[in-house]
């Protein structure tokens, strides 16, 4: 397999895309793979202009945590609003996005999942619910019906595992995000 870039009117592939593409969802990263007999072509969808109203609805720290292609999606704002309903403050909700930005990815989550999963975690874990979604915001991306079949211990254990991974891998992710060019929407100044 060889990697070639398609037409020049497509956005360039960033350093992060090249390094992390195997770890990211193909759809999530904005790539459309095309396999031919001679090559695998990876093409970036053209990014739409960021609508000012969308950006105004997201706090700046949240917008900075999301890839540029996601910030332009209209589905992000309803996800942010649903997530914000779960946490006692905007700062706590921003911290949740910092731990797991996937909860705000419109192609991976819905406001109904966030609200429904929050209700399930509250029912299963009672007073521990906020602590659990703080350690593992990803639980808010679960299908509520499937989550309701889990036990409180399973939800707690998943939060502990997610917290351990974040403790170990979080600094590495933040380091990579600090490298110029990690996101195609940020200018690289040399």
Q: Distance between CA 18 and CA 13 in Å, rounded? A: 7
pLDDT of residue 55: 53
Calculate what percentage of the chain has a pLDDT beyond 70: 63
Stretch (H or E) spanning 136:
none
Q: Rounded to an integer, what distance in angstroms lies between the CA atom of residue 49 and that of residue 186?
A: 13
Burial group, residue 126, by CB count within 10 angstroms (0-12, 13-18, 19+) = exposed
Encoding tokens for residue 84? 């914000």
Residue 38's contacts (CB-CB under 8 Å, 6 or more residues apart) are 2
Query: Which one, of 61, 125, 119, 108, lies nearest residue 85 by Cα?
Result: 119
- 184 falls in which pLDDT band (50, 70, 90)? low
Q: Which residue has the higher pLDDT, 169 or 130?
A: 130
- Which of the residue ranges 56-60, 95-99, 132-136 would you say has the lowest mean pLDDT? 56-60
Q: How many CA atoms lie within 13 A of 36 on its CB side?
A: 8
pLDDT digits (tens, 9 = 90+) for 33-69: 434 444 444 444 333 444 455 556 789 999 988 888 8
Average pLDDT over residues 91-109: 94
CA-to-CA distance for 142 and 116, rounded, in angstroms? 9
Confidence check: pLDDT of 139 > 50: yes
> Could you tell me which residue, 155 or 181, shows the higher pLDDT?
155
What pLDDT score does 68 carry? Answer: 84
Given a cut of 80, is residue 81 above it in pLDDT?
yes
């Amino acid at each position: 397999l060889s990697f070639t870039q398609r037409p020049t009117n497509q956005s360039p592939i960033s350093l992060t895309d090249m390094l992390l593409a195997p770890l990211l969802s193909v759809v999530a990263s904005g790539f459309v793979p095309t396999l031919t007999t001679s090559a695998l072509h990876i093409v970036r969808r053209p990014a739409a202009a960021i609508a000012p109203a969308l950006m105004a609805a997201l706090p700046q720290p949240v917008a900075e945590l999301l890839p540029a292609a996601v910030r332009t999606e209209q589905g992000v704002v309803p996800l942010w609003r649903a997530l914000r309903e779960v946490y006692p403050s905007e700062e706590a909700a921003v911290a949740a996005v910092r731990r797991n930005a996937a909860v705000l990815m419109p192609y991976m989550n819905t406001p109904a999942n966030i609200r429904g999963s929050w209700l399930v975690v509250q029912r299963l874990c009672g007073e521990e619910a906020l602590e659990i979604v703080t350690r593992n915001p990803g639980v808010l991306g679960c299908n509520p019906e499937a989550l309701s079949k889990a036990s409180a211990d399973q939800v707690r254990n998943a939060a502990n595992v997610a917290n351990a991974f974040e403790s170990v891998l979080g600094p590495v992710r933040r380091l990579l995000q600090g490298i110029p060019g990690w996101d195609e929407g940020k200018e690289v100044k040399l």
